[in-house]
Amino acid sequence: MKNVKLPKKEEQLMEIIWRQEKVFFKDILDAYPEPKPAATTVATLLKRMQDKAIIGYTLFGNSRQYYPLIKKADYFSKHVKGIIQDYFGNSALQFASFFTASSNMSAEELQELKKIIDAQIQKKKK
């Protein structure tokens, strides 16, 4: 996957497509919160995203069923890696330190994070 950073409106549309996995145009419009964008706006966004090879579609008669061509985890993973590289000297440790200090995590959330980290340590030791 090439490094693509979607504009906010395309990212919002992508969230709907990721959530639904396979979705028709009408269902995309229905999934938008109020105030809903114009149908022409959504059609333009879908076309742009097809051109970027981020979504694809299957034709059913005159209706297109859209689906993601990139996984949500892959998309966001690339951006987190970019943030770590650009703002934290490519140090995941500096990023983690900043994140835990500035995110107002509760003691319980930090404990859960510690469990996740401990599990990753065990995986790396194997």
pLDDT at position 31 is: 96
User: How many residues are given for the chain?
Assistant: 126
In 3D, which of 52, 53, 65 has the Cα closest to residue 17?
A: 65
Residue 2 is predicted with a pLDDT of 54
Closest of 94, 70, 90, 72 to residue 81, by C-alpha: 90
Choosing among 3.40.50.10860, 1.10.10.10, 1.10.1740.10, 2.60.40.10, the CATH entry for 8-68 is: 1.10.10.10
Nearest by Cα to 55 from 7, 17, 101: 17
Q: Give the pLDDT of residue 55.
A: 96
Listed as ranges, residues in the chain with pLDDT below 70 are 1-4
Note if the pTM is more than 0.95: no
